[in-house]
Each structure stands twice: as C-alpha cells, then as structure tokens.
Amino acid sequence: MLWIPIDRSLDIPLIRQVYQQIRERILKGELQAGEKLPSTRELSGELKVSRNVILEAYDQLLAEGFLTSRTGSGTFVGEGTFLEQPKKTPLFHAFNLEDDRNEDNHVINFRSGIPALDLFPRKTWAKLSHAVWNDTSNAMFGYDIPEGRPELRQVLSRYLLKTRGVNCHPEQIVITSGATQALMLVSKLLLSPDDTVVMEDPITDDIQTIFTTTGSSLYPIPVDEYGMKTSLLPLHTNPKFVFVTPSHQFPLGGTLPIQRRIQLIEYSRKMNCYVVEDDYDSEFRYEGSPVSSLQGLEPDRVLYIGSFSKILSPALRIGYLILPLHLVEKCRRLKWFSDLHTPSVDQLILTRFIDDGYLERHIIKMKKIYKKRRDFLIDCINTTFSNKVTICGYSTGLHLILELQDFHFSIQVLKQIEQAGVKVYPVEDHTIEKGNHSNRIILGYGHLNNEEIKEGITRLYNVIYTC
C-alpha cells in the first residue's frame, strides 16, 4: 500500500498534497518506472479522503507524464521519470537571511547614495498615479517604444536645459531603468574587447565592473579636490571614452572646474573619443552656485547619464541616457533587446510630477533637510574627533569623506567598527590603483536622522581610538 501523510490543518488542498508527494517520490526513484500504483478506490479508502481527490491527483500526474494508464490493468509509473537529485545547499544557512534582518535593527549604516526614503512624496505620487491610471488610454497598457514615452522625454529635455544646461532634443534621450542600465547600454554601445576606458580613480567599483566585463581595460587618472587631474590624460593610448563625474566626483566629492572641463573636451577632440558624464548627485549642491553640465559644452561628444534614484527613490528605477544623434538608433535597438521598454505608466506619473512643478519643489525641500543633516554630521565629527580628522567632499550630494592621518582602515578595523553597530565604507574599495586612500571612509547621511548620526559617530570614534 502507498502511504501518503495527509495534513488537513494545512492551507494546501488535499488534491495538491497527494499530487506533490507522489510526484516527489517518482522523481527521487522511490516509485520506479513500471511500478503499479493502488487503484483510486483503494488509495482513497486508505487515506480516508474522497475518491475524487485521488482521481484528480492521478489525472494531473497522467497529464504531466508521471503516470501511464493501461486499460484493464491499472495505473503505473511512467518511463524516464527518475531525476537524480544533486546535493542541496541549505538556502537559509547559505544566505543568512535572518541575521541580515536582525542586523538592520541595530546597525547604523552610513551607506552613501540613499535618500530620505521616509520623505518620499507619497501622497502627491499616489494622487498623480490615480489620475494616470484613470486617464490613460487602453493602448498605453501594451508594449511600448524602447526609448521611453515621448511625453517624459519632452519634459526632461526642457527641465535639464533649465536646471543643468543640458542641450538636447527629446529624440536624443533614452529612458532607462536607472543609471546602471544606462551604463550597461554605454558599454555595449561603445566597447569591445581590448578597448581602453580612461576614468577617474577612485570611482564606483560597480562602474569599473560594468566596463571591464566587455573585455576592456581601465586607464586610471588620479583625482584631487577638484576632480580628475586632466593634465594626466594619456596621449599614448586611444580610449573609446573618458568617464567622469564632473559635478560631484564619486567618492571624493570634487567639482571639475571649467579649465579642466575645456581640457577634457579638447582631449576628446584630439583623440577622437567620447566623454561619458555621470551627473552624480548634482541636484543637492550646498556651497556656491549650481554647476552646469559638461554635455552643454560639447553635445556631439558627450554622453550624459542621470537618474531619479537619489532625487526621489531607488525603487522607481527610472534614469536616462542622452546621446549624440548618430548613436541614438543603435542605442534604441540595444534597449529593446535589454528589456523592451521601461514601465510606461511610471514614466507618465513622473512626467506629470515634473511638469506640474512637484519635482523642483521636492528638491528645494530636500536640499534644506540634507544640508541640516550634513551640517549636523560635520558638527558631530568636529566635536567628537576634535582636530584629529579632515573632512572633505561635502559641498554637494548625500555623503562626505572622513580622513584620518596615520591611520589604516584595515579589514580587521572595519570588522570591529561593524561589531560596534556601525557600517562605513572605505574609499579604497573604489580604487583602481590600490594603496592611496586607505585612511579615508565614505559617510552617507541622507537617510539618517540626527540621533543615528550622533550615535554612529560616537561608536566610530570609540572603535578607532581603541585600535
């Protein structure tokens, strides 16, 4: 007799319980090909369930090929239904999911690039979302064009000209799923194995990975307090492009002055290469006047990348890539093969959010809040560490750099800091040439309140000065 445990307290229907257990035993080889199963009447009597339960379970297994039925003989296990089972890794142990959840409850995480998620304009977004879902035509719910909704591209071209000095036609814009997809499109558009990319050092480790996965090599240019040292641009190699974050260099925070911008443009002309501009964190500038984009100086050579992840929320997954006209069509094809298109309804909601002036008002509001958090963080550092540290890269964005003289943020020190309930991020993790920034860490503050900032700096100090 085939014994199958039935648990009537479960939410799983009895039919599904019978089906799953027979299926699993066949796959494991516990029920072998050609073996006869009990009749539906016998099994229903043994398990104390309706015969219809067994009939439906058998029918499903017959339909999937696990069983075969022979008229007058009965039901048998089908041929070729055994699947050798590999040794399984216990997933919960491997990923340590429970530990990660518990960690969030007590670790003060100074991760950069995270906005104040609790201040996302939910009510406004919900109101606009409701209007879009009600007003949008049925056609909008089908497949869309890869480059993005024309309404959003038109609004963006006007907004970026006004706020960033970006000079482009809506047709030059491709809407992407965040800046990461824009970077992937650039790598597929411009790079081949053995190509060279000239880029700032340090620069985000993820960006380095995106470019090197094409088989290209990176040529690092050191960064100082003003951004890339353009006087060191190489003349002995022909790069496909130069990658820069001129408005707010990540992670060191410098702003590229006009003299270096001109030098960079002249270099791209001489070497016949492109410049890829990641306009990182440019909206939140606290010192001096807003800085215009590099793209506005040379639209035919500069590819411009922007995103709404830090302005609004990473969950939106909406960014954009602005290209010279001759690259647009190829990029549209790449975008289509990547994901067909970015979600259309979200694009329409964002269009109204920008067009109705909500975005500008949100940025003004958040700029005041982030400046207060930045100032509080700087005060906490100065009060706690006295004159033992240097603070830099704080004029723009959602993070700053803390530099300690004659100190090394080793793996062991970083573990001790995390054990004390603080997570910080070494600049050295983002370097191409190692060893020049081991005394610097990145402190993001946009998502932290004053209490968390103060406690985090206190814990950090206690660890550093007991090492």
Sheet with 36-37, strands from edge to edge, namely 36-37, 74-77, 67-70
Please give the distance of CA 437 from its chain centroid, rounded to a whole number: 25
Nearest to 445 by CA among 412, 384, 396: 396
| Phi, psi angle pair for 136, to nearest 5° | -75, 140
d(CA 96, CA 104): 13
The DSSP result for 146-201, as a single string, is: TT--HHHHHHHHHHHHHHH-----GGGEEEESHHHHHHHHHHHHH--TT-EEEEEE
Per-residue pLDDT of the chain (467 residues; tens, 9 = 90+): 677 888 888 889 999 999 999 999 999 999 999 999 999 999 998 888 999 999 999 999 999 999 999 888 899 999 999 888 777 655 545 445 444 444 455 899 999 999 999 999 999 999 999 999 999 888 888 999 999 999 999 999 999 999 999 999 999 999 999 999 999 999 999 999 999 999 999 999 999 999 999 999 999 999 999 999 999 999 999 999 999 999 999 999 999 999 999 999 999 999 999 999 999 878 899 877 668 899 999 999 999 999 999 999 999 999 999 999 999 999 999 999 999 999 999 999 999 999 999 999 999 999 999 999 999 999 999 999 987 899 999 999 999 999 998 899 999 999 999 999 999 999 999 999 999 999 999 999 999 999 999 999 999 999 998 86
Distant-in-sequence, close-in-space partners of 66: CB < 8 Å, separation ≥ 6: 22, 23, 26, 77, 78, 81
Return the pLDDT at 210: 97
102-117+365-464 in CATH: which number?
3.90.1150.10
What are the residue ranges spanned by the domains of the chain? 14-77, 102-117+365-464, 121-360
Nearest to 444 by CA among 407, 406, 410, 394: 394
Phi, psi dihedrals of residue 288, rounded to the nearest 5°: 75, -170
CA atoms within 13 A of residue 123's CA, in its CB half-sphere:
2
- What is the topology classification, in CATH, of domain 14-77? Arc Repressor Mutant, subunit A (1.10.10)
pLDDT at residue 88 in the model: 62
CB within 8 Å of 35: residues ≥ 6 apart: 76, 77
CATH of 121-360, one of 3.90.190.20, 3.30.565.10, 3.40.50.150, 3.40.640.10: 3.40.640.10
- CA 67, chain centre distance (Å): 46
Q: Which residues contact 125 (CB under 8 A, 6 or more apart)?
A: 349, 353
Classified as helix, coil or strand, 235 is coil
Residue type (1 letter), 14: L
Length of the chain: 467
pLDDT attached to residue 317 = 93
The SS3 call for residue 249 is: coil
Residues ≥6 apart with Cβ < 8 Å to 232: 221, 222
Nearest to 229 by CA among 247, 212, 246: 246
> How many CB atoms lie under 10 A from the CB of residue 259?
10
Angle at 432 between CA 322 and CA 436, to 5 degrees: 125
Q: Give the SS3 label for residue 114.
A: coil
